[in-house]
Amino acid sequence: MVLLLRPEDTRGLISMPEAIEAVEEGYRAWAACPDINAPRQRTHTPANSRVSAHQGGVPRFGVTGLMTHCELVRVVPELQQQHIPVRGRPVTVLYSSETAELVCIIIGEVTCREVPDQYMIGLRTAATSAVGMKYLARRDAQTVGLFGSRGQAKNHLAAVCSIRPIKRAQVYSPNPEHRKAFAEEMSQVLEIEIQAVSEPQAVLEGADIVIDASNTNVPVFRGEWVQEGMHINGFQGSNIGLVRGGFIPSKRTEFDGETYRRCDVIVINSKVQTQQDEFPIGDAAKTGAVKWDHVWELRDLVAGKVPGRSSDRQITLLDVSGGQGIADVGLAGHIYQVARKKGVGVELPLTGAEHWTP
């Protein structure tokens, strides 16, 4: 039988620490078996409905498959931001990694217990960031500087609080009401002190970890503001499809050259993905701000094949742009197991295979 999981079935079904562990297992599997994951693929229609497909497999959970989603992308030039007014429900399809049978279909975004009502691929992205931060952020990190005040920001703050003894956060959003509301809500959810600040530079003052969870197309801070021992986290990715389609004149630039130059350790999701989608860090490598042969991939960091932070004085940077299928499938595989144990979801009157040859 094939299990169907609807949005109400998966809402808050697992915790953030569970999500982080599931995503880390995906990266560990990818390091052991390179062909178990494929780069994210995107298509754009003339109206700029954008479809993304993320393929991967995680044997520990007994599944392989893909997650796909579609959004209508718009650009707000005066704010230098991207806006998504409509987003179709994501769909995750899981097959048995042993028998190739269809085992589960998940409709809608999966969310964690800590922030059950936040979407936009927030849980997977934040869990991926947390996997990297486990190896890159100082172990004594207690203060987070955060750009952004919506779903990604909420998920990322919950994620970093799961892996480090965070006591305080300072958040900036161009909208004063948004940053104030964020501080009030998330201080209660996470039981930490959160201050809404009125200037971008204030986000970095005294911060151990800085996270860009905004939707900007330009850098939100300057490299000279970065402090010794800091960890920087980003995931803005590419808008190359928007540029090619004529929807926007230039590509995104999340960090300036000085930020990259000051970093001692840089880790990304995938070099292939970066080159395919022309991520900003690839442009930084072309200008010499980044030494490409000194940029590591997250899967190798998790597997211990490359060094992470080796000193509390180092500045580290993690860019998880281009979500990988092994993260989505790892997360979905764990949710599938939990749903089976708890009897959640709807059993479809279907067998998982059309043909079976003994």
DSSP per-residue codes, 96-164: ETTT--EEEEEES---BSSSTT--SSHHHHHHHHHHHHHHHS-TT--EEEEE--SHHHHHHHHHHHHHS
Taking residues 174-194, what's their average pLDDT?
Answer: 97
List, for residues 274-328, the tens digit of each pLDDT value.
Answer: 999 888 888 888 899 999 999 999 999 999 999 999 999 999 999 999 999 999 9
For residue 4, list its beta bridge partners. 105, 346
User: Rounded to an integer, what distance in angstroms lies between the CA atom of residue 328 and that of residue 325?
Assistant: 5
Whole-number mean pLDDT of the chain? 94
Contacts of residue 126, defined as CB under 8 A and 6 or more positions apart, other chains included, come to 16, 19, 152, 155, 156, 158, 159
* Both tokens assigned to 34: 């390179």
- Read off the pLDDT of each residue in 333-355 and give the average, rounded to a whole number: 96
61 touches 336 (CB < 8 A): yes
Q: State which CATH number among 3.30.1780.10, 3.40.50.300, 1.20.140.10, 3.90.105.10 fits the domain covering 2-114+324-348.
A: 3.30.1780.10
CA distance readout (Å), 249 to 42, 252, 321:
19, 10, 20
- CATH 3.30.1780.10 residue ranges of the chain are 2-114+324-348
In angstroms, rounded to a whole number, what is the distance separating the alpha carbons of residues 311 and 136? Answer: 10
The residue that leads in pLDDT, 268 or 75, is 268
Return the pLDDT at 280: 86
Kindly report, residue by residue over 24-49, the tens digit of the pLDDT: 999 999 999 999 999 999 998 988 89
pLDDT in tens, 146-167: 999 999 999 999 999 999 999 9
**Strand 209-212 vs strand 143-147: parallel, antiparallel, or unpaired?**
parallel
pLDDT of 246: 77
Instruction: Specify whether the backbone of 71 is left (phi greater than 0), alpha (psi in -120 to 50) or beta.
Output: beta
Q: According to CATH, what is the number of the domain 122-319?
A: 3.40.50.720
Cα–Cα dist 204/227, whole Å: 8
The enclosing H or E element of 282 equals helix 280-287
278 φ/ψ angles, rounded to the nearest 5 degrees: 55, 55
Band of residue 194 on the pLDDT scale cut at 50, 70, 90: very high
pLDDT of residue 240: 79
Q: What pLDDT sits at residue 47?
A: 87
Note whether 137 and 209 are within 8 A (CB): yes
Q: What is the pLDDT of residue 347?
A: 97
Which tens digits make up the pLDDT trace of 70-116? 999 887 765 556 778 899 999 999 999 999 999 999 999 999 999 99
In angstroms, the CA 273 to CA 271 distance is 5
Question: pLDDT: is 120 or 222 the higher one?
Answer: 222
- Domain boundaries for CATH 3.40.50.720 within the chain: 122-319
pLDDT at position 302: 98
β-bridge mates for residue 81, sequence order: 76, 216
Residue 238 has pLDDT above 80, yes or no: no
Residue 77: the pLDDT is 65
| Residue 285, Cβ density class (10 Å: 0-12 exposed, 13-18 middle, ≥19 buried) | buried
pLDDT, residue 243, reads 79
Least confident of 99-113, 221-235, 247-261: 247-261
Residue with the two structure tokens 């052991």? 32
Beta strands in the chain (DSSP E): 2-5, 41-44, 49-58, 63-76, 81-87, 91-96, 102-107, 143-147, 168-172, 193-196, 209-212, 231-234, 265-268, 295-297, 316-319, 346-348
pTM of the prediction? 0.95
pLDDT confidence bin for 262, thresholds 50/70/90 = very high
Supply the pLDDT for residue 119: 74
User: Is 4 strand, coil or helix?
Assistant: strand
Distance of CA 56 to the CA centre of its chain: 16
